[in-house]
Chain A
């Protein structure tokens, strides 16, 4: 089952929600995404979430905060959440801004995250 969102593509594969964020994401888009994601985790009973942000070239505090929030929400709703594919420039900016995503999981790529989820029997 797939859904197309303005800000991102969201796919449900097995028990894992895959979210690919687009590079031209706007502040409104990302808030909409947060709502849709929260709904779908519950409705579809996702055990794992992978948020792919490889397309993001630039982040600001707002986007950074929402990204951290997305994984916190996933965690609260009982799904293990991975943020994957972060660009070096984005990582440096987030660290500069003092946002270290502590508490959220990260992986190099989608396949790394899926492997980790499989190892835990969640995918």
Chain B
């Protein structure tokens, strides 16, 4: 035998298409991965049929002597179909194990038929089974890859959304901005905060920006460095930064850490910072009713 082949497998699928499909269904049911709660018979049948046809298409084109790589041109149809079916099933809550088991369930009906057809030719039987196993394993791994890629995308999207949500720049008054920081301030977020803030300074022609850290859980040397850098960049732009929301505890920590804020104005509350900001931009807040003291 010169080249690896699964000719017999392919002819089984072609000649006994309906039977194979039905047997595949049965195995899935036995393995408990049919999920009739999520997919109607017609829909599942349609998906499996697509996969089966794509498999035949790929196996015809691919050179089975080489490692099976679904990224190859030959497997395009199967890869896309697999990806689509995986995505569709994951969205409905099918676990990756169930999805993999569902595809691998095709092995059993094909093995049974191969054994019947190639009973008199054990060498060929082994060869076909080996090649079919290789291909099926590659599909299973591809499903896991797709699953992970899909998850990664979701995580990345959520991370970005969180990043945007967590750095809103708010205009408090004419030429006065504030950015209330909440949660943790790592390098990536610090960069985002700085970018947003500097662009808003240009946009609003702001002269004072209040960086409020009331909601920042931990202030260590690194967070302090990020804050001071932001303040330095704000100053370079020609505006003034006030860091507010320094709790007594944070003040103690910062001194213990030896953080030197230099010229940067710091205030315990956003209220104290706002008063400074009004003075700087030339406004004044007055009580209009003395009886309400």
Grouping DSSP codes into helix (H, G, I), strand (E, B) and loop, the B interface class, with mixed when no group exceeds half, is helix
A95-B238 CB under 8 A given contacts A88-B198, A88-B201:
no
Number of interface residues of B (CB under 8 A): 20
Looking at the complex, which one of B229, B237, B262 makes contact with A86 (CB distance below 8 Å)? B237
Q: Does B80 contact A (CB under 8 A)?
A: no
Contact present for A92 and B238 (CB under 8 Å): no
User: With A and B bound together, what is the CA distance between A91 and B235 in angstroms?
Assistant: 9
Residues on B lying within 8 angstroms of A by beta carbon are: 194-195, 198-199, 201-202, 205-207, 229, 232-239, 262-263
Chain B residue with Cβ nearest A84: B238
Q: Is there contact, CB below 8 Å, between A95 and B229?
A: yes
Assess the A86–B236 pair: CB atoms within 8 A: yes
Contact of B235 among A88, A90, A100, A113 (CB under 8 A): A100
A88's closest neighbor in chain B, by CB? B198
Q: A interface vs B, CB < 8 Å?
A: 82-88, 90-92, 94-95, 100-102, 106-109, 112-113
Q: For B199, B235, B236, which residue has the most chain A Cβ atoms within 10 angstroms? A: B236
Expressed in whole angstroms, the minimum distance between the Cβ of B95 and any Cβ of chain A is 45
Docked-complex contact A108 and B233, CB < 8 angstroms: no
- Contacts A88-B202, A108-B207 given; does A94 touch B238 at CB 8 Å: no
Which residues of the partner chain B approach A91 to less than 8 Å between Cβ atoms? Answer: 198, 233-234, 236-237
Bound state CA distance, A27 and B234, in angstroms?
Answer: 26
Write out the residue numbers on chain A whose beta carbons fall within 8 Å of the beta carbon of B239. Answer: 108
Instruction: Give, as a whole number of angstroms, the nearest-CB distance from A70 to chain B.
Output: 14
Q: Quick check: A106 and B233 within 8 Å, CB to CB? A: no
Q: Tell me the nearest residue of chain A to B175, going by C-beta.
A: A108
Residues of A within 8 A of B263 (CB): 102
**Which residues in A have their C-beta under 8 angstroms from that of B207?**
108, 112
In the complex, what distance in Å separates the CA atom of A109 from the CA atom of B206?
A: 11
Q: Is the CB of B195 within 8 A of A85?
A: no
Given contacts A85-B238, A88-B237, A106-B238, contact A100 B195 (CB under 8 A): no
Residues of A within 8 A of B232 (CB): 95, 100
Of A85, A86, A87, A112, which is in contact with the most chain B CB atoms at under 10 Å from its CB? A86
Say how far B225's CB is from chain A's closest CB, in angstroms: 11
A residues in contact with B262, CB < 8 Å: 102
Q: Nearest Cβ in chain A — how far from B226, in angstroms?
A: 10
Q: Chain B's nearest CB lies how many Å from the CB of A109? A: 7
Complex contact A92–B235 (CB within 8 A): no
**Residues in chain A near residue B235, CB distance under 8 A:** 100-101, 106
- In order of increasing CB-CB distance, the 5 nearest A-B pairs are A88-B198, A108-B238, A107-B238, A91-B236, A106-B238
Residues on B with beta carbons closer than 8 Å to the beta carbon of A100: 232, 235-236
Contact B205 A92, beta carbon cutoff 8 Å? no
A82 contacts which chain B residues (CB < 8 A)? 238
Q: Chain A: which residue is nearest B234 at the CB level?
A: A91
Please give me the residue from chain A that is nearest to B239 by CB atom.
Answer: A108
Chain B residue at smallest Cβ distance from A54: B202
Complex Cα–Cα for A22 and B68 (A): 59
Between A and B, 25 residue pairs with Cβ closer than 8 Å are A83-B236, A83-B238, A84-B238, A85-B238, A86-B236, A86-B237, A86-B238, A88-B199, A88-B201, A91-B236, A91-B237, A92-B195, A92-B198, A95-B194, A95-B232, A95-B236, A100-B232, A100-B236, A101-B236, A106-B235, A106-B236, A106-B238, A108-B207, A109-B205, A112-B238
